[in-house]
């Protein structure tokens, strides 16, 4: 599904990822944990192809295809989804319009028929209901004036509609209280399937109580320095990152 | 020069055609240049009443004493007014393309993107033997329109026709909103105007349709000095749409139109414009100079005038649709989207002149600049000492795409009544890379993402457009900004 080998990437001439390797199979949920500044968000941006995040070495293949030179929208059409830590506000564009534009852009890129408005409306409402997203919210401009929890639920709604094969969730738990976290986690869990992999990036172990990963990796200084199962997350919670950082040094 | 030679020349000059050039009234083109003879020629061509000719000549004489305004934030080479044609008959059928295959393919691509039906494309491109009536297959929509309008007593015709059929109405209102001597270009227009529309809505009549579809397909022949006069009599209502989302080419570089609106007691006029004249190529070559004077007069109590404009074309735009709020309780609105890309320049805005009591005005302006374009909002809110309880709200937003364009906001507020409430909000922002990436990550391609974001930015104005045009205008926004990123 996703194969990253010795990936090096820089931002503004500064190398952030320094030979990162990671392998994910279909249906697996991997968690990436790491201290601030370890390169977690950079990894999500490099994977999704954001401008200004330049790959300088190594390789990344998604579904058997080298994606290094692909535009963000091409990667999205291949089934890659990034849940943003800070979802952007798009004034004047109703959430519904945005969602339909995105879905149809992807369908078109894949050579599928565009979905007509009534069918889409039904689908969106159905998915929205599961995530506690009101119809009223769907009419509002995307994320404008949404609370932190609403924004994150909206991210998961987008994921539910776009049905990606790889979902990268960047600090989805940040800014959520425990109730909102539960709703979001339930939404994510409902989307777990043998065809869908998830890369859950988080600072805290808390999220992983709700979204239980198959594998946990520790990211430090732009590299994965330790991998294990979910118990690794608990160990980190208890002892902090320092022990690994000293080990790696 | 010997006296004899001089005499010979004088005599031969006398023998020249009275319009000063060797051609007759049947000619389809007046020679270049402007003088009184040319104006007489234009007026004769249209078989105008004597007073109209005098009006034109008076304008011309005043124009000679005027100088071109230089205060706008636009740069263009000096215009040689003697090097222009001031009269050309509409193209004859012989010059028109046989089929769409003979039309510039680039134009067709744009029609396609705008979703204009094939038959209508043919009409817009001026394909031979495509009559207005034929565009809408079996039923002649146009004929139906005409009948419906006549039934309601609405007069809607070319101004040249109105001068024949309703000279008293034209004479009563022409030049009463934009005086002959208003400004350099309006005065020039008064002298040489080619044609335009005339609309009169009788008292108490709500015009039974948007005067748009009809107009759009009849518009091709209005020429470079368009003159429009709309009168809404007491208690009447009309919505009028001028222009077209389809790109308009013209060999005449200078366009100087005048539009006058008169709203009497309790009347309402809604005037929408979509302007997509050729903006020049991506290197700034060619393109129309658009120097327009548009003004509405809420002449009596409770009248309302609303301007909505989507300006995407022209190399240089100089345009300030304004409202004179003369009657008590009158209101004026101005909603504007001005998009400039490549080397386009736009200096546009409005003037709201509060004269009556309890007058209200609202200004929403959205300026978008991309490429190397410069866009200026210039607006005046003026409150007269007698205009008690005047209120104005202005919101002026500019969006920059890339880092080689410019946006400027120049508001003028002149209030001579201490009770006036005037609010002005202005923002300038850059199209954010983050927003763009967010859209692209969701699978929306870069150009579509820009279009989506910009349409969101313009939403407050787009929703003021008549429904049928709002969708096309959204597509137009997208097309105007193609190639502005990446």
pLDDT, tens digit, for every residue of B191-205? 999 888 899 999 999
Query: Shortest CB distance from A82 goes to which of B433, B441, B445?
Result: B441
More confident position, A79 or B484:
A79
User: Encoding tokens for residue B67?
Assistant: 């100088």
Query: Shortest CB distance from B443 goes to which of A50, A52, A106?
Result: A106
| Confidence band, pLDDT 50/70/90 cuts, at residue B125 | low
More confident position, B218 or B284:
B284
A106 CA: distance to closest CA in chain B (Å): 5
Q: Indicate whether B118 pLDDT > 90.
A: no
Chain B CB within 8 Å of residue A72 CB = yes
Contacts A–B by Cβ distance under 8 A: 78
B433 CA: distance to closest CA in chain A (Å): 9
| CB-based contact B178:B245 (threshold 8 Å) | no
Helices (runs of H) and strands (runs of E) counted in chain A: 10, 10
Share of chain B above pLDDT 90, in %: 52
Q: What is the pLDDT of residues B315-325, one digit of tens each?
A: 899 999 999 99
Share of chain A above pLDDT 70, in %: 98
Q: Which residues partner with B239 through β-bridges? A: B270
Residue of B431, B442, B453 for testing the chain A interface, max A β-carbons within 10 Å = B442
A235 CA: distance to closest CA in chain B (Å): 34
- Residue A174, pLDDT score: 85
Distance, CA of B300 to CA of B323 (rounded, Å): 13
Q: Which residue of A has its CA nearest to B459?
A: A92
Closest CA to A32 of A209, A246, A240, A198: A198
Q: Give the SS3 label for residue B329.
A: coil
B187 CA: distance to closest CA in chain A (Å): 41
Q: What angle do CA B265, B269, B271 make, to 5 degrees?
A: 160
Residues of chain B found within 8 Å of residue A49, distances taken between Cβ atoms: 440-441
Chain B CB within 8 Å of residue A70 CB = no
Distance, CA of A182 to CA of A166 (rounded, Å): 21
Q: Do B443 and A91 touch (CB under 8 A)?
A: no
A207 CA: distance to closest CA in chain B (Å): 24
Q: What is the mean pLDDT of residues A111-125?
A: 94
Q: Which residue of A has its CA nearest to B454?
A: A92
Q: Do B438 and A98 touch (CB under 8 A)?
A: no
| Confidence band, pLDDT 50/70/90 cuts, at residue B409 | very high
Residue of B433, B441, B462 for testing the chain A interface, max A β-carbons within 10 Å = B441
Q: Which residue of B has its CA nearest to A51?
A: B437
Query: Largest Cα–Cα distance of chain B, in whole Å?
Result: 87
| CB-based contact A111:A119 (threshold 8 Å) | no
Chain B CB within 8 Å of residue A190 CB = no
Chain B CB within 8 Å of residue A106 CB = yes
Q: Which residues partner with B376 through β-bridges? A: B347, B408
Q: Do A73 and B444 touch (CB under 8 A)?
A: yes
Count Cβ atoms below 10 Å from residue B151 Cβ, excluding itself: 9
Q: Do B442 and A76 touch (CB under 8 A)?
A: yes
| CB-based contact A129:B472 (threshold 8 Å) | no
Chain B CB within 8 Å of residue A71 CB = yes
Count Cβ atoms below 10 Å from residue A187 Cβ, excluding itself: 23
Lowest mean pLDDT across A2-11, A59-68, B100-109, B362-371: B100-109
Q: What is the pLDDT of residues A143-192, one digit of tens each?
A: 999 998 899 999 999 999 999 999 999 999 888 888 889 988 999 999 99
| Confidence band, pLDDT 50/70/90 cuts, at residue A246 | low
Q: Indicate whether B128 pLDDT > 70.
A: no
Residues of chain A found within 8 Å of residue B452, distances taken between Cβ atoms: 90, 93, 97-98, 101
Q: Do A141 and B455 touch (CB under 8 A)?
A: no
Query: Shortest CB distance from B443 goes to which of A51, A77, A91?
Result: A77
User: What is each CA distance from B54 to B44, B49, B171, B193, in whole angstroms?
Assistant: 12, 9, 12, 14
Q: Indicate whether B23 pLDDT > 80.
A: no
Residues of chain B found within 8 Å of residue A50, distances taken between Cβ atoms: 437, 441
Q: What is the pLDDT of residues B213-238, one digit of tens each?
A: 444 444 444 457 889 999 999 999 99
Q: Do B448 and A101 touch (CB under 8 A)?
A: yes
Residues of chain B found within 8 Å of residue A161, distances taken between Cβ atoms: none
Compute the mean pLDDT over every residue in chain B, rounded to the nearest whole number.
Answer: 84
| Confidence band, pLDDT 50/70/90 cuts, at residue B458 | very high
Chain B CB within 8 Å of residue A53 CB = no
Give backbone dihedrals phi and psi of B267, rounded to 5 degrees, phi first: -90, 155
Chain B CB within 8 Å of residue A158 CB = yes
Distance, CA of B425 to CA of B175 (rounded, Å): 34
Q: Give the SS3 label for residue B356.
A: coil
Closest CA to A214 of A25, A61, A42: A25
Q: Do B442 and A98 touch (CB under 8 A)?
A: yes
Q: Which residue of A has its CA nearest to B453?
A: A90
Q: Which residues, other chains included, contact B181 with Cβ-Cβ below 8 Å and sequence gap of 6+?
A: B59, B62, B66, B187
- Residue B28, pLDDT score: 65
More confident position, A67 or B30:
A67
Distance, CA of B100 to CA of B112 (rounded, Å): 12
- Residue B119, pLDDT score: 64
Q: Which residues, other chains included, contact B179 with Cβ-Cβ below 8 Å and sequence gap of 6+?
A: B186
Q: Give the SS3 label for residue B206.
A: strand
Lowest mean pLDDT across A30-34, B62-66, B102-106, B464-468: B102-106
Share of chain B above pLDDT 70, in %: 81
Chain B CB within 8 Å of residue A11 CB = no
Q: Do A92 and B460 touch (CB under 8 A)?
A: yes
B147 CA: distance to closest CA in chain A (Å): 37
Q: Which residue of A has its CA nearest to B433?
A: A51
Q: Indicate whether A218 pLDDT > 70.
A: yes
Distance, CA of A180 to CA of A160 (rounded, Å): 17
């Amino acid at each position: 599904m996703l194969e990253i080998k010795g990936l090096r990437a820089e931002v503004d001439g500064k190398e952030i990822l320094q030979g990162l390797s990671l392998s994910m199979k279909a249906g697996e949920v991997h968690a990436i944990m790491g201290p601030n500044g370890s390169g977690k968000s950079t990894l999500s941006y490099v994977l999704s192809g954001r401008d200004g995040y330049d790959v300088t070495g190594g390789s990344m293949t998604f579904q058997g295809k080298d994606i290094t030179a692909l535009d963000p929208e091409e990667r999205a059409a291949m089934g890659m989804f990034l849940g943003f830590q800070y979802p952007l506000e798009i004034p004047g564009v109703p959430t519904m319009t945005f969602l339909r534009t995105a879905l149809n852009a992807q369908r078109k890129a894949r050579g599928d028929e565009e979905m007509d408005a009534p069918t889409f409306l039904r689908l969106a409402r159905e998915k929205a209901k599961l995530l506690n997203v009101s119809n009223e919210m769907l009419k509002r401009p995307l994320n404008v004036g949404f609370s932190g929890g609403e924004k994150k639920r909206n991210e998961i709604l987008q994921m539910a509609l776009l049905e990606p094969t790889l979902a990268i969730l960047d600090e989805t738990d940040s800014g959520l209280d425990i109730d909102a976290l539960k709703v979001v986690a339930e939404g994510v869990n409902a989307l777990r399937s043998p065809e869908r992999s998830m890369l859950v990036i988080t600072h805290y172990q808390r999220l992983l109580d709700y979204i239980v990963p198959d594998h946990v990796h520790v990211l430090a200084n732009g590299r994965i320095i330790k991998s294990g199962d979910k118990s690794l997350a608990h160990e980190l919670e208890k002892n902090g990152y320092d022990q690994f950082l000293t080990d790696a040094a | 020069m010997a006296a004899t030679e001089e005499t010979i020349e004088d005599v031969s000059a006398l023998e020249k055609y009275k319009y000063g050039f060797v051609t007759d009234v049947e000619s389809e083109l007046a020679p270049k240049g402007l003088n009184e003879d040319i104006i007489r020629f234009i007026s004769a061509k249209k078989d105008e009443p004597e007073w109209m000719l005098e009006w034109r000549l008076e304008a011309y004489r005043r124009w000679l004493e005027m100088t071109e305004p230089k205060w706008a934030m636009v740069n263009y080479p000096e215009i040689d007014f003697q090097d222009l044609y001031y009269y050309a008959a509409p193209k004859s059928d012989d010059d028109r393309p046989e089929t769409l295959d003979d039309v510039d393919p680039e134009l067709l691509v744009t029609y396609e993107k705008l979703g204009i039906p094939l038959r209508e494309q043919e009409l817009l491109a001026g394909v031979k033997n495509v009559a207005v009536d034929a565009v809408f297959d079996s039923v002649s929509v146009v004929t139906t329109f005409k009948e419906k309008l006549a039934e309601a007593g609405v007069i809607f015709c070319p101004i040249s026709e109105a001068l024949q059929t309703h000279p008293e109405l034209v004479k009563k209102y022409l030049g009463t909103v934009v005086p002959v001597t208003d400004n350099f270009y309006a005065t020039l227009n008064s002298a040489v105007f080619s044609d335009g529309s005339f609309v009169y809505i009788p008292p108490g009549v709500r015009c039974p349709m948007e005067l748009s579809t009809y107009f759009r397909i009849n518009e091709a022949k209005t020429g470079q000095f368009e003159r429009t006069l709309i009168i809404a009599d007491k208690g009447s209502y009309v919505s009028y749409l001028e222009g077209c989302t389809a790109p308009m080419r013209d060999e005449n570089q200078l366009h100087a139109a005048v539009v006058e609106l008169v709203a009497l007691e309790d009347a309402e006029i809604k005037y929408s414009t979509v302007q997509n004249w050729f903006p020049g190529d991506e290197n700034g070559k060619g393109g129309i100079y658009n120097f327009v004077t548009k003004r509405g007069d809420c002449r009596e109590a409770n009248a309302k005038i609303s301007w909505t404009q989507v300006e995407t074309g022209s190399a240089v735009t100089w345009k300030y649709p304004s409202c004179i709020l003369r009657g008590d309780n009158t209101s004026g609105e101005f909603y504007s989207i001005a998009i400039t890309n490549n080397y386009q320049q736009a200096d546009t805005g409005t003037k709201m002149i509060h004269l009556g009591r309890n007058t209200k005005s609202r200004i929403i302006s959205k300026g978008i600049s991309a490429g190397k374009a410069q866009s200026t909002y210039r607006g005046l809110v003026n409150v007269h000492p007698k205009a008690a309880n005047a209120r104005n709200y202005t919101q002026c937003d500019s969006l920059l795409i890339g880092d080689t364009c410019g946006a400027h906001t120049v508001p003028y507020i002149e209030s001579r009544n201490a009770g006036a409430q005037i609010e002005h909000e202005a923002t300038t922002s850059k199209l954010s890379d983050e927003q763009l990436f967010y859209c692209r990550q969701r699978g929306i391609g870069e150009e579509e993402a820009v279009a989506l974001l910009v349409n969101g930015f313009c939403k407050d104005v787009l929703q003021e457009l008549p429904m049928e045009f709002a969708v096309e205008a959204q597509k137009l926004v997208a097309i105007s900004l193609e190639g502005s990123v990446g």
